[in-house]
Chains A and B, each alone.
Chain A
Amino acid sequence: MRLKAQSFFLILLLPALGILLLFIALPISQSIWLSLHRVIIGLPGLGELFIGLSNYRELFQDPVARHSFWVTLFFVTVTTFFELLIGLFLALLINLRFPGRGALRACVLIPWAIPTVVAAQMWRFLFNDSYGLINYMLFGGNSTSYIPWLALPNTALAAIITADIWKTSSFAALLILAGLQIIPEELNQAAAVDGAGTWRRFKHITLPLIRPALLVALLFRTIDAFRVFDLAFVMTQGGPADGTNVLQLYGYRKLFVEGLMGYGSAISVVIFIIILFLAVLYVHLAGRRLMEARI
């Protein structure tokens, strides 16, 4: 009976594992395989020639790819930092008890819920060079000093960073909120009775206890920021002068616009390795504890 039950449960797993094998595991392995070959979509006659690590060698010397890597790294660092900061603030706020907390929580969720593409069009509109609200707020009616935000490499990157911070700070807030909710209220009350002020309670009780949640938020946000695509695609198309040409956008261009399946796969494998490294770090630092606590 016991053995029969176990095999019954293993059968229940098959549909899910089958889908994941077909659409995640096999594609990943095929990407690795493709990255070792020269495959061009437009030239099927060329076949699939094995060229070893040539694609990677070419990639590491490709100035556009290197630039793209640094742009992405800068994007990831800045957005993650501000998202955690704003997320922590929002989480502390929506964890308090006050009338209208439910409504505020719903408001905070809105940026997370709307499609990234909509957020991108929204910020493209607000950053418009001649009638955008941001220029108006900074310079009023004096249109001669308006900045063409999306037409200059550095300000375009800043615009995309702004859009990402707006869009995903609330997700960071939710992850941190989960950490805040497990702090027993008696702990704070006891400390308050002992005369500890708000700041000291935050520093000595809240902060150490939400460290795991902060870590999870940090790694989730880092991993996700490395995959940025939609914002750059809609707001700037990677321009100007590759100023916002993030890695996933560059990979997309090589794979699907230029049809370089081999070279594009090398880019996608590099992104995969970066994220895998971060994920392993995540599982190592927080995952074990998480699994033990819940399962």
Chain B
Amino acid sequence: MTEQTKLREFTKGIFEYNPMFVLVLGICPSLAVTTSVKNGLAMGGAATFVLVCSNLIISILRAYIPREIRIPCFIVVIAAFVTMVELLMKAYLPPELNASLGIFIPLIVVNCIIMYRAESFAYKNKPLASVLDGAGLGLGWTLSLCLISSIRELLGEGTLFGLKISETYQPASVMIMAPGAFIVLGLLLGFFNWRKLRKSEKSMKEFMKHD
């Protein structure tokens, strides 16, 4: 594998295959935990760890997993790493952070992104490529979590990373509650769609000019 393909395996997860804004996968935890940037980062880190490790193990074992029972096998591998990450977070992170992530750490087991990468990439590719793929998608997901959570924290609490931004701003607390989460994600998805449409329109115009 050349340097360039390695880099591509890694970077495709950040833009081209961004799990949140392009694939629209794994939205349940991404809306529930993005009330503050700190929560978003912790969740993204945990999911990235599980994604990288499960991709590695599944791609090592891919010759030994029969096709018919691959899904239960994936689930057991993923659940093992989720249990590890749960215990690690309980041991090393502050209790209030753990409390605010709540059941969404064990729920990484049923996160569609991890299952999707196991099924469509790790089960068919070599270990190194699978690790890079997992790391790239995990990073892409973490970055999108940070984007959503910074918008929600800024509008809903008037803070960023717990620091107050403006003295006069009246926080709109609906943004850190359920309705705000849906509306922010809907508008962000709309924004990325708009950019994509504009880009394709531009290239269309270029094409016409050359013609």
Do A and B form a real pair? no
Interface residues of A (CB under 8 A from B): none
> Interface on B for A, CB 8 Å cutoff?
none
